[in-house]
Amino acid sequence: MARQSTAYTSGSSENGPLAEPGTTEASPSVASKHESDSDDEGPRFQFDVIKKKYPGMLASVPHDPTLHPDGVRSLTYIGAQAFGCGFVLAACLLLTLYLAVERQNTIWRLPAFFACLSLFHFLEFYITARYNMPALRAASFLLFNNGMKYNVAHTCAAVEMVVTNYFFPNFQRLFVFPPWSIAIGFATVAVGQVVRSTAMAQAGTNFNHTPVQTRKADHVLVTHGIYAWSRHPSYFGFFWWALGTQILVGNKLCLVAYALALWKFFYVRVKAEEHTLVEFFGDDYRAYRRRVGTRIPFVN
């Protein structure tokens, strides 16, 4: 008797489901390979293009421990001081305009004074970073390392502005002739700042914020540019910048005190520094000293 055969047409068999016609079931290893191929075919960075367009982005940076938070070139300390100078400058300029124009209050002189200070200290660092990188330090802002007398002088200037504005307004208006005295003060500040910054830039690596005792191998005598007009232009610039701030804000007492203190300081500083410069450069500096003055009154 013939045995009847059974046809399996419902997609199953004795050994399990049947695959659809024209398809094969992929093993896990094959599926994994396809997924890997799919990832490899995705978008990629064009590093050659990046290197050409931004050559410094992919370059490795040498390890420099001086850039650490406790280093002499601490990036965190530099960033904090730069932010502080910028914030104070912007805030004080806006406050000066508001008090002078909207409120017509003479206390505008106080934020104007601090705006001058913040710009001065920022430029001390910026010019050093731009033209004298070997000497650059986080302390190049000169915010906290100018000595007690420097801090006392600016504190006294701020106190005089506040006290005379609220308690002795007649004394504050004495010898103040707006807008002429304000314009003269602003112009003096601007000239002093430009001369000092230019002197630092033109001296380059030959400029130092503190006197040096030994001559570096690459130390040269700078006599060109603004140094052909003044042999100590950075001192000239600071002298008149400081006096200009007191003319601008209408301080009488601090104007006289600044003039006397700064003249004495630079008289002693120039004499001592030029003794060292004669040791460094000999007759070349003696000839330069005879030829070019300091432009600071009574400091020859």
CA gap 147, 165 in Å, rounded: 28
Give the C-alpha separation, 71 to 50, whole Å. Answer: 32
Q: How confident is the model at residue 11 (pLDDT cuts 50, 70, 90)?
A: very low
User: What's the confidence (pLDDT) of residue 197?
Assistant: 98
Distance between CA atoms of residues 265 and 271, nearest Å: 10
Any residues with CB less than 8 A from the CB of 181 and at least 6 apart, and which? Answer: 175, 247, 250
Residues 59-101 have pLDDT tens digits of 777 889 999 999 999 999 999 999 999 999 999 999 999 999 9
Residue spans of beta strands (DSSP E) within the chain: 12-13, 16-17
SS (H, E, C) 24-86: CCCCHHHHHHHHHHHHHCCCCCCHHHHHHHCCCCCCCCCCCHHHCCCCCCCHHHHHHHHHHHH
Q: How far are the Cα atoms of 13, 99, 134 from residue 185, in angstroms, in the given order?
A: 103, 18, 35
Structure pTM? 0.82
Whether 269 shows a pLDDT value over 60: the answer reads yes
Tally of CB atoms within 10 A around 131: 17
pLDDT tens for each residue of 210-254: 988 899 999 999 999 999 999 999 999 999 999 999 999 999 999
Average pLDDT over residues 165-192: 94
Mean pLDDT score across all residues of the chain:
89
Residue-wise pLDDT tens digits, 100-152: 999 999 999 999 999 999 999 999 999 999 999 999 999 999 999 999 999 99
| pLDDT higher than threshold 90 for residue 27 | no
Question: Residue 54: which pLDDT band, with cuts at 50, 70 and 90?
Answer: confident
Residue-level pLDDT at 36:
53
Residue 266 pLDDT exceeds 50: yes
pLDDT at 8: 44
Predicted pLDDT at 39: 58
pLDDT at 6 over 50: no
Residue closest to 215 by CA, chosen among 120, 137, 139, 280: 280
Q: Higher pLDDT residue, 207 or 25?
A: 207
pLDDT of the residue at 211: 87
